[in-house]
Chain A
Amino acid sequence: MSVSSISIEPNGSKPKHLTIGRIGLYCFILMCALFFLMPLYVMIVTSLKDMDEIRSGNLLYIPKTLSFYAWPKAWSEACTGFVCEGLKPGLINSIKITVPSVIVSVSLGALNGYALAFWRFKGAYLFFGLCLFGAFIPYQVMVYPLLKIESAIGIYSSLPGIILVHTIFGMPILTLIFRNFYASLPIDLFKAARIDGGNFLKIFFYVIIPMSTPITIVAVILQVTGIWNDFLLGLVFAGRDNQPMTVQLNNIVQVDFGVAEYNVDMAATILTSMIPLAVYFISGRWFVRGIAAGAIKG
């Protein structure tokens, strides 16, 4: 496995001249980008206005008077109930929940996908089918049995409790995406490794995992997003000392009775999504072409 064969940019040189096709391509991409960016634009613009302007003005206009009031309030001053510390307190908890949950659920998904793709045994697919079925169940339906089970084991309302819950909820889809990815790899690769004397674990660690980067990125994006933004499962299973910041976020933005400070809402939402966005942006380095090819040749 030669590391040097992993390219950081897509292979090939960038086309040097702009053909009509190229211009058309960029135009189209820019138009799509505008559509996608439009709500974010509204959110940023709103977060920089004061409430009077929001109430009376046009939501697409740039703020007449720039106001940064909303941002520090969202981060450290917004009141939810008795506590007036904004989003900040929940940040550590969210990290405490997300990092282990992502690691455990993605690892388990990869292991499952690997076993199902290359080491099938009779009845494996039946269980996989049952597992996949779990992806379609609305979560509250699963909460009751999980409550009882976790209570019986004694990990209800604790950090391991919420990690287990996130792992369970993530298992169906993660297993599926890893299994499908591995099933699309050339089978000769696997056969060659077996001939070379590899067993279940060795092949997993030395052959399969290095090739799994693109799909692992996808899995991590999926889990980081889902777990970071989760709020109801955290409320019920994490225990009162481990409440994620989404509880505070929801308390700030989803106000039933009372004055809605839309600028603070927007600021709070943008702040909360910084972490997943950072993950998306950084993941680019590993979203490359040619790893599979490199692996075969290397």
Chain B
Amino acid sequence: MQSLTKNLASKIALLPMIIISLTVFVGCIIYSFVYSLTGSKLIPALNYVGFKQYEMLFKSRKWDVAVENIFIYGFVFTIGCLVIGFLLAVLIDQKIRGESLFRTIFLYPYAMSFVVTGLVWKWVLNPTFGFEHSMHLWGFDWFKLDWLVNRELAIYAVCIAAVWQGAGFVMVLMLAGLRGIDDDIWKSLSIEGIPKWKSYLFVILPMIRPMVVTSIVLIAAGVVKVYDLILALTSGGPGFATTTPAMYVMENFFSRANLGQAFAASIIMFISVVCILAPWAYYEFYYRNKEAKA
């Protein structure tokens, strides 16, 4: 009884999080699993079909392509955002003039809903009347930028637009971290004569580790859920060359009216995310804490 009332204020404060995690997040996983065993079409219905949905899922060519794409997209997008975000944050941190302006310039893509910005990128990347066409008009006939209509390269074109949209927010996160660093540290670094770029890479970057970790988690969550962006840019095409697991799930909810399949695909997504997330979470929260206490 005493351990229950210990730290009571904290427990009460975290009660909403606990309730929501259990009822909504865990609840929806259970809900999804139950209905993934049904033949639900347009609305959830309890017509049991065993594991048939999973069978169909793994037989699906589209799902294979989706899984492959999520790895490519995940890798390129994550590295792209981290590197560019950090670089931009460092650049802005250099006490440049017009900092507010530059920060808004790099961040504004994040503010614009992707329905129209996706359309603009589609125009720009379109070989017939986009950037390639403009280059031809200016005399550079050899210039080619037709990734978007190329089955192998389309996913990379998507990455370009995605990094354009997301790097700004990573920049802001990193900047918040950089701004939290005491001036004294900078003074001592310059006294010791360490060149700036080395300071950033080897001293400062480890110091803003929590921000980097936060960025990675945010980026990863974005990668797993990416939908609007790809829909706007390629509709999952050409064919289904740029489809992803989240898109597969969403289209089975919406246009395909195949809820059983959608729930089955989401369960597989959950399991994959847990397999990657759980070991990292354990390391991050238990292991490192034990180390810190020791």
Contact = CB atoms under 8 A, between A and B. Distances in A.
Interface of A: 10-12, 14-15, 25-26, 28-29, 32-33, 35-40, 42-43, 46, 58-60, 108, 111-112, 114-116, 119-122, 124-125, 127-142, 144-146, 149, 168, 171-173, 175-177, 180-181, 183-184, 199-201, 214-215, 217-218, 221-222, 225, 229, 231, 246, 249-250, 253-254, 262, 265-266, 268-269, 272-273, 276-277, 280-281, 284, 287-293
A183 B134 CA distance: 51
B25 A225 contact: no
A289 B96 CA distance: 14
B227 interface: yes
Contact of B31 (A145, A246, A288, A292): A145
A273 B111 contact: yes
A273 B28 contact: no
Interface size classification for chain B: 35 or more
Interface in B105-148: 105-113, 115-117, 119-121, 123-124, 129-131, 133-134, 137
25 contacts: A14-B95, A29-B91, A33-B102, A38-B124, A42-B124, A59-B134, A60-B131, A111-B13, A121-B11, A125-B286, A127-B22, A130-B26, A132-B277, A138-B246, A140-B253, A141-B263, A144-B31, A181-B180, A181-B210, A200-B9, A217-B176, A262-B119, A269-B113, A273-B112, A289-B179
Interface in B229-268: 246, 249-250, 253-254, 262-263, 266
A139 B225 contact: yes
A265 B179 contact: no
A217 B172 CA distance: 9
Nearest to A218: B176
Contacts of A26: 96
Contacts of B24: 134, 142, 145-146, 149, 168
Contact of B182 (A46, A140, A145, A292): A292
A225 B269 contact: no
Contact of A25 (B9, B96, B285): B96
Contacts of A134: 20-21, 24-25
Given A59-B129, A277-B111, A129 B278 contact: yes
Interface in B275-290: 277-278, 281, 285-286
A137 B180 contact: no
Contacts of A289: 178-181, 183
A59 to B, nearest CB: 5
B6 interface: yes
B60 to A, nearest CB: 17
A139 B104 CA distance: 28
A15 B97 CA distance: 10
Contact of B179 (A175, A276, A287): A287
Contact of A229 (B31, B92, B113, B123): B113
B2 interface: no
Contacts of B113: 229, 231, 246, 249, 269, 272-273
Contacts of A39: 109, 117, 120-121, 124, 164
Contacts, number: 283
Contacts of A11: 183
Interface stretch (B45-53, B150-158, B213-221): B213-221
B32 interface: yes
A116 B14 CA distance: 8
Contact of B137 (A58, A108, A183): A58
Interface in B12-67: 13-14, 16-18, 20-29, 31-32, 44
Interface of B: 3, 6-7, 9-11, 13-14, 16-18, 20-29, 31-32, 44, 88, 91-97, 99-100, 102-113, 115-117, 119-121, 123-124, 129-131, 133-134, 137, 164, 168-169, 172-173, 175-184, 208-211, 213-214, 217-218, 220-221, 224-225, 227, 246, 249-250, 253-254, 262-263, 266, 269-270, 273-274, 277-278, 281, 285-286
Contacts of A132: 217, 277, 281
B277 A133 contact: yes
Contacts of A199: 9
Nearest to B94: A25
Contacts of A201: 9
A255 B77 CA distance: 29
A276 B104 CA distance: 10
Nearest to A296: B182
Contacts of B93: 10
B270 A137 contact: yes
A290 B110 CA distance: 27
Interface centre among B113, B214, B254, B285 (most CB of A within 10 A): B113
